[in-house]
Amino acid sequence: MRRLFLFTAVVVCAAMTHAQREYRITGQDSHETTRVYMYEVGDSIVLDSADVHDGRFTFTGRVEGSKFVELVTKEGDPSGQFILEPGNITLFGRNYYGKGAPLNDAFVKLVNELAAYEAKVKDGTLTREESYDIHTAKVVEQVSAHLNDGLGARSFYYFSYYIERFTFKTLFDNGGPSIRKVPGLITNRQSFELTAKTEECMMFTDFKVEYDGQAHRLSDYVGKGNYVLIDFWASWCGPCKAEIPNIIETYNKYKDRGFVVVGIPVNDKPEDTKKAMEDLGITYPQIRDIDGAASTPYGVAFIPQIILFGPDGTILRRGLRGEEIMKTVSEYMERE
């Protein structure tokens, strides 16, 4: 009797384990395709595929642990990303969020929490700097707690903008396979190696780009005896445009005393840059970043990236944001 009980217990446990690994994913297609394929982000092996009927599709299968995955249509169009994990997962939104399973729900919870803090910035109950600090702390907390699963990879990739470069390197270097195979994170990690030559206290690295029949160099402005603020930005970047009023205010206050600001539009069409300059009231000069000639030497993995240079060309501060721009520039300018 005891042997029968033990055998029965083993069978029940095995059945439960099997069930715990099963997933069922349902979603609605927005690309008018007939089949979608699931890949782990950073991998070329098809994990699963499903036919699309009346605009809807369903995946069923088993998974060990969890994975950060993406869907691609049979035509090769990216369809969205979520976390593959055991459970019944419903995909929603054009680029997909998952709900109904623990890790997907935790990701959506973080998205909603951060959106709530953004709303507080808009109604004036939080400053943008306070909101940014909260965003950073919450993102780092979630990624740190999930370095070896799909949630960590999903959150790290989606919110990498909020993670400063030293923390980024630590998280990436200690992350599991799901994190270390994400192309966007790999690229950013590699770009941070370039900042070794352009960290604070280092002498500036010059660059040259040619367009409109002229050569444009960073050394046209930096290292000529003035404090210079460089802003890597783009017309399509909301956070970049949010910083422009802070930059303009600082520029207007000190430009008559030799303070220089130079914008460097990244991955931006000249006509879009021009329109944004007009809309935002930007009057300081710009140097286009052609083929990464400007952004690559400075390891610019995300924008805005705002850097202050000293009169001799020494890099004084990187990653300036918000009220910190005026405060930092004033500290140096008032020494003069």
Question: Can you give the pLDDT at residue 91?
Answer: 95
Question: Can you give the pLDDT at residue 20?
Answer: 64
Distance CA 299, CA 191 (A): 5
Question: Can you give the pLDDT at residue 299?
Answer: 82
Q: What is the mean pLDDT of each run of 10 residues along the chain (336 residues)?
A: 44 45 94 94 96 96 96 93 97 89 97 92 87 92 97 95 86 95 89 76 92 92 96 94 95 96 95 95 95 88 91 94 93 86
Its pTM surpasses 0.95? no
Distance CA 314, CA 101 (A): 50
Q: Which long-range contacts (CB under 8 A, 24 or more apart) does 140-144 make?
A: 140/167, 140/171, 142/106, 142/110, 143/171, 144/171
**Nearest one of 147, 154, 164, 56 to 101, comparing CA atoms:** 154
